[in-house]
Chains A and B, each alone.
Chain A
Amino acid sequence: MWDLGRQRHCSDEDLLAHRDGELPRWAARRVSRHLNACWECRSRAWELEQQAHAVMRAAAETFPGPEHIVEAKRRFLEWKTEYERQGANSAPARRRAPLWRYAAVAAALSFVLAGSWLFFRRPAPEVVLAQAAAAERRSTGAAEVHQVLAVQMIQTRPVRRESSGRLEVWVDRHHARYASRWTDRQGTIRYANWQPSKGRAFQYDGGARILAATQGHASAAAFLDLSGYQMEDLERAFLDWIRSRPWQPIALSANFSLFAGRGGVVLQAERYRAADGTAMIRLTARRALRRVQADFVLEVDAASYRPRLQLVRFENQDRTVELRLSIEQVETARNSIELAVFEPMLPKLPAPPPSPRERQAPPLVTAPASPAQASADDEVEVLYALHRAGACRREVLDVGRPAGGRIRVRGLVADDARRTHIVAMLGGLKAGRLLDIDLATGLPPQARVGGATGLPAEATRAADAAYQDALALVRLAERFPPELLPALGAEPARRLQSMLRDHAAALESSALRTRRVLAPLLPAADLRQPSAAVESVDSSWNAACYALFRTVDRMDELIQDLGGAADPARTAAASELQIMFAKLGGGVRDLDGLIAREFPSNRTAAKR
């Protein structure tokens, strides 16, 4: 349309579309109204109409004529007769779907049915368990394994309580190394054990000291039978399990097998889909006792059969507690484990924020001023300083010379004041510039966790002190093997000798004090009579230190038995304890003699 002054005429397109009935209703009404009023547009519409008539007339007049259509119809009827004759003999008139469509539908149906059957069928528990064990063996069968597990202990009834933590296990099968560590949510170590080499094993159970340990051979039974159903019972059972389990990677399927193999256990397996969409299989072993129901659940990845979660739940009338162990990480790459994790020392704990006083103190880590290498003499100097400060007994400190030639002092002290004191003291040494000091605070104030029950506290304290000194002797013996001794200077050798004598004397004194306190429980013996050396130690002062430690360790166990065991066992423990005291006295004298004989300064003096 276009405007002609105040009047809007229709275009040819509009007029034609209007005549053909192709305009929308609103446009058709507008064109009709306009045509009623406008003669010009009406005449143009008429012209178009006339032209269309002319074209139509020309087309109709020309082709095809009626005879042609009749001929075409005849040809069609002939063809149709032939078509129907062929079609009636060959196939029904109904159109068939192509064969491939039937095949596709059948394939899709069978696929869906097979998928449903695979997903919904109940897997056989024994088969799944065997697969899970095999998958776990494959995943943890490497020479070096590092496992990280999340530990959760939850009480759901009557009041919800929850504690979480982390359990890490390192295994180096080639070198018979092992370490494990259980830390709580705050990062505090609840239990740790180390085996830096075959035959040397240590453990730390949250107390003040690192103890000698023996590899456990017990199974997972520890936390399958709870004595009570409190959270504390669960934690204690879990600790017992970690302590007693073999020093191998953790195998959740093995724990499950142990529980499932008991009498009265009902096994069941079901498929389900995890929150992240992974297809899973849940194995449940249920054992219903008179007052409590125990459920052991193992959740396994349906594709790889690798266990992901182990859950132990105890439920009685009043309470429900459960322990969850879920595998977070399994690393099996070669040479991925730092050797430091196998060393019997506490790792760095999260340090508290520095106090204003500490900010003014000298830096804890002294930067190396020169690339000088620390020698064994420097190490002795550091150890001697720590010895003078009493840090070799109470605190758990580790002094070593890792690669790089510097001396590293790491460990755990009681508080910031103690740390500042030790740092300041070490900073004043001649070897102070070669030191890397990394001390964390948070050492518990109590001397020992779980002392012997039913015995005087004095006896326990004295036994602890003896143990500390014996351990200090062993650590010195380890650090300075006989071949290293000639390399020491006169003064360091003298200092080392002094440390050894101090510890030996303290050990003897503590042992005597223990013996005196426990005298009423021991068989009659003359305390004034000097003890005889039962174990012959004549090789070296290092061997004497180890022998002393073994004696003190055994003595410690006997004292525990004396406090808690039944009467016959107590009598036997008392008799053996008496022997151990005698052996200890002899061992200290032997050590004294060996020190005097073997140390270079003494040898030089003897020659003179």
Chain B
Amino acid sequence: MPAVGKMRQNQLLLEEIGHARLGRRGCVDEQVATERILALYDSLCGPLLRYAIRSCGSPDVAEDIVQEVFMRLYRTLREGQRVDNPRAWAFAVVRREIGKWATEPLGRAAMQPLEILDSLPAGNSAPDMRAIERSELERLFGVLTHREEEVLLLRLGALKYREIADQLRISTKSVCTMLARALRKLQRAANAEPRLEEQAKSHVGSRAPKTLQ
């Protein structure tokens, strides 16, 4: 394969998988399908998981849903059905599965703000994930509306504006507006934090001794 960038490689791989049908009569060979699904794990697993966790609030459920997406994609390829855009297809399946899960009583109970995760007993799976939600993304996305966050997560998954608009059933123009607004909000939030820290430091530096006194 000629020397191309990683993104380009992924793109070619995706296109190849999307049209991976053995003519009109057959299905994708087991080995080929396996290789391609494993390659998709590298490029899609992170964005899908991020999106699923932010949408359902439960890392375990999100993990199961994302695993189910890859299994379904494998089955689909093996059955010889056509998947033109696996990335958009995968996000659509995640959204649908989360929608189904949210209608169940257990799902509704689990749809809690991420802040309460700390109060829950720690399970035996993925102790690092709990740190994730509390960390950078949580801090960044706190200033965004739900819709803006959703658009931003889908864009982080490398979906095009048209694909995001189709998933959320809004216009392309709205997608663009929400993205720009979200980035501006995040920028303002990032700029505000250092000033607050400086103010706090100056405040502590000037008053604390007095207070302590």
Contacts and interface: CB of A to CB of B under 8 A. Distances in A.
Given A13-B177, A16-B179, A63 B49 contact: yes
Contact of B70 (A48, A76, A94): A76
Interface in A62-86: 62-65, 68-69, 72-73, 75-77, 79-80, 83-84
B136 A62 contact: yes
Nearest to B66: A72
B186 A94 contact: no
A16 B180 contact: yes
B208 interface: no
B210 interface: no
B187 A80 contact: no
A333 interface: no
Contacts of A13: 173, 176-177, 179-180
B41 A95 contact: no
B56 interface: no
Given A58-B137, A79-B71, A16 B45 contact: no
Contact of B80 (A54, A58, A95): A95
Interface string A15-57: 1110010100000000000000000000000011001101110
Nearest to B181: A12
Nearest to A71: B126
Contacts of B196: none
B183 A62 contact: no
A340 interface: no
A16 B181 CA distance: 10
Contacts of B156: 55-56, 59
A12 B81 contact: no
A47 B160 contact: no
A403 interface: no
A65 B156 CA distance: 16
Contact of A80 (B27, B46, B74, B180): B74
Say whether chain A's binding surface is mostly helix, strand, loop, or mixed: helix
B42 interface: yes
A303 interface: no
B140 A95 contact: no
Interface string B66-99: 1100110011001111000000000000000000
B186 A80 contact: no
Contacts of B78: 87, 93
Given A16-B180, A58-B136, A63 B129 contact: yes
A196 B161 CA distance: 91
A526 interface: no
Contact of B180 (A48, A56, A63): A48
A158 to B, nearest CB: 65
A72 B47 CA distance: 14
B199 interface: no
A567 interface: no
Interface of A: 11-13, 15-17, 20, 22, 47-48, 51-52, 54-56, 58-65, 68-69, 72-73, 75-77, 79-80, 83-84, 87, 93-95
Interface of B: 25-27, 30, 34, 37-38, 41-42, 45-47, 49-50, 53, 63, 66-67, 70-71, 74-75, 78-81, 126, 128-129, 132, 135-137, 140, 152, 156, 160-161, 172-173, 176-177, 179-181, 183-184, 186-187, 190
10 contacts: A22-B160, A22-B161, A58-B140, A62-B137, A64-B132, A69-B41, A83-B74, A93-B78, A93-B79, A94-B27
